[in-house]
Structure 1
Amino acid sequence: MRLLNILLLLAITNLYAQNSIKGNIIDTNTGEGLAFVNIYFTGLEKGTSTNENGDFLIDNLPSGNYNMLVSFIGYKTKSINVTIPNSENLSIRLEPSAIEMEGIIISTPFHKLQSENVMKVEQVSVKDLNAKGALNLSEGITNIAGVESVTTGLSIGKPVIRGLSSNRVLVYTQGVRLENQQFGGEHGLGLNSSGVESVEVIKGPASLLYGSDALGGVLYLNPEKFAKNNSATGDFSGNYFSNTQGYSTNAGFKSSNNHFKFLFRGNLAEHSDYKTKNYKVTNTRFREQDFKAGVGYQKNTFKTDFRYNVNNSKLGIPEEIGEQSTNRTPLFPYQNITNHIFSLKSTLFFDNSKLDFNLGYIYNDRKEFEEHHHEDEDHENEEHEDEENLEAALHMKLKTANYDVKYTLPKLGKFETIVGVQGMNQTNTNYGEEELIPDATTNDIGVLATSHIHFENIDVQLGARFDNRNIDTATNLNKDFNSFNGALGFKTNIANNITARLNLASGFRAPNLAELTSDGAHEGTNRYEIGNPDLDTEQNFQSDLALEFKNEHVEFYVNGFYNSINNYIFLSPNGNTINGNPIYNYLQNDANLYGGEIGLHIHPHPIDWLHIESSFETVTGKQDNDTYLPLIPANSLSNTLRVEFKRSWIHSGYAFIKLKSTFKQNNASLFETATNGYNLLSAGLGGNFKIFKKEATVTVSGTNLTDKTYINHLSRLKPDGINNMGRNINIGIKYQL
């Protein structure tokens, strides 16, 4: 609290002069001013657009050195270092380019364009994921190369990055780490894509930036931006999904003036059981309600952004093929989960330096209901809307407070440096009859330093970090885990239009409560799990090499990685049973994962409207005893043909057809079955129209158009031979108010 009081005092007493910057954006070839070009200061999170003559003005800027991005569709994004105050009238030239406009990478500390970033980060907009017919966020992220999802039906999914998942992948939302009992195989994200602008994926250990649980990578969700200064906008949208006869509705409004900003967005989605070619998969139905709100303030040397998100999901847990209906109310067993996420992201600007502090609080209320806890004997297909009369078999409340404070030092020659401290206090409390994990308190603290060094022909990023995690349980288990980690990366242009990135990094993961303390039957997995209090910290080291070629006609990349993990934790049956459930113990062994991604994007000039895209991804995971790791995605190849068009009655029009080929997965663990290969065909089209002088976006897409029967290797319904979803047609419309 003392630190917070000092920071707030600084925010009030810093009285720097207000500054402004103005300029003009022109086309390099024609010399004409460009209208509606985006100008954005990455560190200040403040921007504007040019007028019809290409002129712009931004005021209320603090003194210092800042990165300014200038971006416009059809032109190469430009990154400029600007010193404020600046009395010049900037004249900026943009070069026409068929290469798609770059976004700002938020998940890495220096907020660079990907072309300037030392670490390879994948970024994709949620708008593009939805245009491909994604039914929810968990399904949408599987369109990113190197990313898959472990699923239980449609509603429960968790990210897999290069073969690692669960507590080995960290999820960030609203700038804070998400904690929602992610140790459980049937515990999904608990997040909705509504109000999320883009998704970034760091593949590989990111413990330097994020601490424990970032051993396998990070899924970073960027919330939607506030409205531009002195503007207001609203929208509503609706989507229909033929396979589940489901819908998703969304409405939002945001407004900003020079200092204050606010926004809110609500979403409601309901789906019945998904359908395969031959049957409906009973109890994959679900209902989700989501509300997001934000308030921002910025003046002179201080800016702050407060966000709140509440998400309530009622999710059916499928067990076998039974009732065939289009009901949307889940049967037993089902989950009722409420997630509250509060975040406060603030920055104090000084001359040539800044202090960022992010505070978060996550309250996860998880209830699971089973059939035998219902009083009525004849209730197999009964809808249970009055939950007050039901007793949750499992009821856990997880409360997490976390903080992240970083200071960006004044730039010293070629060095940009950030130092910081991060931490977390977490309590888990049981209220139900069953107990998966005991009541416990977890405390984290980590200190870090990282630098970006700009040499003439090469960029270098390096850093180091120390972490401590303490776990104290009601069963008298008290454990301390310590880890020291580092990272070193290089980026250079090895030839004309060819960029090379080499990153070396270590990461760690402390054992979670389930792995340390489990002692009971897990109904969803039909096994009796016994924890191991003597487990050590997982520690890994990964080398990652990325090569990228890019010109006006072709983009090509190849990424390769090798990931060595010491003390990899896994479940193994011991051959005994308790009450008919096989007993599984948590054990450790060293493991290795290796593979990569290859991609090609052809956009021949001058027919820039044509895009031919292809990507291949592969990963292999083995223990040191040469047995394969579980839940490793099968190799896959995606080919997409996409066209873009514009007419007098439509703009930003597009159409695509995609074939994703997933190969056989014969490299199964000892407790898995192999999976056959399959091909999935999808297609879609859409564009923006003027309706009543307002802009409307209409999209139509179809997935699994041939109604293929298949089972994904990462489906938790695979052991029961239950197929994944069949043909689905999605129709969506969004209207700007």
Structure 2
Amino acid sequence: MNKHVLFSLFLLSFYFGYSQVSIIGTVSDESNQPLENVNITVLQSLNGATSNSKGFYRLEIPKQLESVTLEFTYVGYKSTLHTIDLSNLEGNDSYKLDVIMVESALELEEVTISAGFAKEKDKLPYIITTLKKQDIATSGQSNLSQNLAKIPGIYNISFGNGVGKPVVRGLSNANLILLNDGVKQENFQFSSSHPFLIDEMSAERFEIIKGPASLQYGSDAVGGVVNVIKERPASINTIEGDFTSNYHTNTNGYLNSLGIKGSGKNLFWGVRASLKSHEDFSDGDGNDVYNTRFNEDNFSANLGTRTGFGKFSVRYDYTRPQYGIQNIASQNLVNTVPELLSSGRENQVWYQNLTNHLITSNNTIYLNKNTMDIDLGYQSNLREANGGVFNQTEEVLLSPTYASMQLNTFTYNAKMSMPFDDNQLLFGINGALISNDADESKPNNPLLDSKINNFGIYAIGDFKLNEKITATSGLRYDYRNMTSDPVVTETTDQFAVNNSYNSVTGSLGLVYNFKKEHFFKVNISSGFRSPTIPELTQNGIHSGIYERGDANLKAQRNYQFDVNYHFHKPWMTIDVSPFYNKIGNYIYLIMTSEEAPIGNGNIFEHVQNDANFYGGEIALDIHPNKWFGWHSALSIIRADLTNAPLDIEHPTFIPQDRWTNEIKFQLGKLAFMKQSFASVEFMSFFEQNRTGQNENSTPAYNLINLKLGTKVNIFNQDSDIFISGFNLANETYIDHLSFTKQLDLNMMGRNIVFGLNIPFTIRTQKSNL
């Protein structure tokens, strides 16, 4: 009975009113002209408002929330943050804040939250790059990693067309963290052929930290963090949504995504469904690259409430993809019985069959000037690999399951944010309980029955030392215990482990704003990564080779030194960002001279030595006027091993140097079209001859991409229509980071993508939405 009473009270809290104070003001440009439809968001509660035709806005803030950060965003203007102390307001007083926004032709997102607190990127001592949903919705790319690879210093490991893995300054897999709605994902680290499982259309934006971010996120953030920031709630008393659709000529592929969300004064909700499907692609010579087909279904839903003492929400994400696998066995099958293989989009043989469920609860509790954030998550991830066999007796194809693993993860994260004056302190704990259950009847499971327990505690401070210098520093302690319970199968005899790792990491960074538009940044930070379960325990067949782990592997420890010079004007930005990353006990895979006891070839073994990664990026954006823009970015990565066996000098999968140039022309209104543009992109990938063991050099190649787009009025909504052309010259090439390079499989040839994105809004006066 008591449980029913408590549950009823919880539901009623959605609708209870609460004591509030008001923030009012006007938004104008530098000429003191009012700006209409500026979005103003309270980052603590995620409620907001828009300015009216006179630039006026009003926000209602719970009295319990005495310190708030407001974000002002408007197309064509630089986003700004304003932190306000409301503790001195009495009675029915209102706080007045008038804001002047600076016009900027540069399409940049200036505010980030991945540092642990909302802050303008200019004022952070390390590099955080942002990719907005609108850019993804109109990019025409097939997967998230391809979109991320547009960012300087970030590349894409390709495994067919559906599977991509980001490489941040030469590091990938277990050296990166993916955060999805505040929850660390645990399903992709052990191989380059295992993707992120996320619907990129369900995110508001992606924030990428280059370099160690272990202070807030713990083990595995040696190379960086990809933080998925979910869609914000709709404006109060509003129902809104969007529909995105793409068609790909090369693969006869499509993406369709529909989302709708609504918000009342207290309650907010949202749902989204996305479908992807592609046939096999053809290369620059017009040859089909078999089994690059993939299919992916996504669904998400969220429900939340705002009260006088906090914001509380729960979200469910479902992802069900099937990705084709290209390996020697699949290629032999293609050559043996091509007449039995369909040319459609259905996955028949040799494919990953994955199912991922994620439930998260994101909560913010107001404690006067302070806030407490509590994020909880549970994810259930089923990973199966289906093979392919030709039954000659019945002349049919069979698709047996060779691997089946159920991974269940519970994660928790709690942090206290304590602002004072122009400074801020963060204190937090986070961790995870991870359990993998392998089906021992399947012969090739890379993950055996195992359990992992993570725990970490940290403190971070952000201090304004004077008007020109800001410092950010912190310390963290981590503990991780890993146990395994192996069972012998036909092709594996994996190792039992009971290993514990702990580490203290820290960072110190300074931002020197020595002139109004000039910033010099320096940051030194350390990272920590324990070995993965396969690196410790593997002993048998994995991905067609005999792979052996080492139960005595030590944890990686790295120190990265970053320097950044940043200059900006409303029409131009310059970023120069060199880095040096020294990794102790770097873990990698080599081919030994030992013959494999089963299968073909030699044993591949996980070993570790010290490694040095260094290089950097130079980026230039120029928009001298509203109709012309030029973006240029050079990315350089170098990596060396120290005292490695077999005289191996370099790690594998180190990206080619890349130089990207994009020229963009924009028009105002033209007949029924608005904000029309045309852009041409030239991508130059330089020869990569600093290769790892068993890697061949990759010759240089060039790609030409073109994009045309405009806004048109569809159902009284300004909608985006675009055409994107990729590899227009139909170049035949193999990227150095292609996972199927060893099979001599070319990359995709010319691909034309037709797309549209239709937003829609329905306003309502019902406060009990």
The alignment's TM-score, normalised by the length of structure 1, stands at: 0.93
Q: Deviations over 1:448-504 (max 9, x none)?
A: 000000122101000000000000111442110001100111111133421111111
**1:386 — aligned with what?**
none
Higher mean alpha-carbon deviation, 266-275 vs 110-119, is at 110-119
**2:484 — aligned with what?**
473
Residue identity matched to 2:485: A
The whole-number CA distance in structure 2 between the counterparts of 1:89 and 1:74 is 25
**1:559 — aligned with what?**
577
**1:632 — aligned with what?**
654
Give 1:60 deviation, angstroms.
Answer: 3.9
**1:17 — aligned with what?**
19
1:296 and 2:316 aligned: no
Pick closer, same or farther for the CA change 1:646–1:469 going to 2, 3 Å.
Answer: same
Cα pair 1:129 1:143 within 8 Å, conserved: no
Task: Tell me the C-alpha RMSD between the 2 structures.
Answer: 2.2
The whole-number CA distance in structure 2 between the counterparts of 1:433 and 1:100 is 50
The whole-number CA distance in structure 1 between the counterparts of 2:221 and 2:459 is 17
Secondary structure (helix, strand or coil) at the match of 1:127 reads helix
Give 1:620 deviation, angstroms.
Answer: 0.5
Q: Pairwise mapping of residues 37-436 of structure 1 onto structure 2 (< 5 A)?
A: 37-62=38-63, 63-84=65-86, 85=89, 87-100=94-107, 102-278=109-285, 279-319=287-327, 320=331, 322=335, 323=338, 326-372=343-389, 377-380=394-397, 391-411=400-420, 413-431=421-439, 432-434=441-443, 435-436=445-446
Cα pair 2:137 2:244 within 8 Å, conserved: no
Give 1:377 deviation, angstroms.
Answer: 4.6
Q: Deviations over 1:408-435 (max 9, x none)?
A: 1252x55310101001000000114123
Higher mean alpha-carbon deviation, 93-102 vs 111-120, is at 93-102
The whole-number CA distance in structure 2 between the counterparts of 1:366 and 1:202 is 28
The whole-number CA distance in structure 2 between the counterparts of 1:527 and 1:272 is 28
Residue identity matched to 2:436: N
Give 1:651 deviation, angstroms.
Answer: 2.4
Q: Deviations over 1:140-171 (max 9, x none)?
A: 11111111121211111111100001100111
The whole-number CA distance in structure 2 between the counterparts of 1:559 and 1:379 is 56
**2:679 — aligned with what?**
656
Secondary structure (helix, strand or coil) at the match of 2:147 reads helix
Secondary structure (helix, strand or coil) at the match of 1:128 reads helix
**2:597 — aligned with what?**
578
Give 1:26 deviation, angstroms.
Answer: 2.2
Give 1:90 deviation, angstroms.
Answer: 2.8
Give 1:236 deviation, angstroms.
Answer: 2.3
| Structure with the larger RCO, 1 or 2 (CA within 8 Å, 6+ apart) | 2
**2:666 — aligned with what?**
644
**1:385 — aligned with what?**
none
Cα pair 1:73 1:101 within 8 Å, conserved: no
1:614 and 2:632 aligned: yes
Which consecutive unaligned segments of at least 5 residues does structure 2 have?
1-5, 487-495, 761-769
Q: What fraction of aligned residue pairs are identical, expressed as a percent?
A: 31
Residue identity matched to 2:449: D
Secondary structure (helix, strand or coil) at the match of 2:98 reads strand
Pick closer, same or farther for the CA change 1:393–1:440 going to 2, 3 Å.
Answer: same
The whole-number CA distance in structure 1 between the counterparts of 2:156 and 2:557 is 23
**2:470 — aligned with what?**
459
Pick closer, same or farther for the CA change 1:218–1:587 going to 2, 3 Å.
Answer: same
The whole-number CA distance in structure 1 between the counterparts of 2:391 and 2:271 is 38
Residue identity matched to 2:562: D
Secondary structure (helix, strand or coil) at the match of 2:366 reads strand
The whole-number CA distance in structure 1 between the counterparts of 2:428 and 2:296 is 37
1:726 and 2:737 aligned: no
Q: Deviations over 1:187-209 (max 9, x none)?
A: 11122212122111100011111
Pick closer, same or farther for the CA change 1:398–1:246 going to 2, 3 Å.
Answer: same
Give 1:103 deviation, angstroms.
Answer: 4.0
Residue identity matched to 1:227: A
Secondary structure (helix, strand or coil) at the match of 2:446 reads coil
Residue identity matched to 1:467: D
Residue identity matched to 1:577: A
Secondary structure (helix, strand or coil) at the match of 2:68 reads strand
Out of 589, 611, 625, the position equivalent to 1:591 is 611
Q: Deviations over 1:234-290 (max 9, x none)?
A: 332321001101111111211111111111010111101011023111111111000
Secondary structure (helix, strand or coil) at the match of 1:719 reads helix
Which consecutive unaligned segments of at least 5 residues does structure 1 have?
383-389
Cα pair 2:45 2:306 within 8 Å, conserved: no
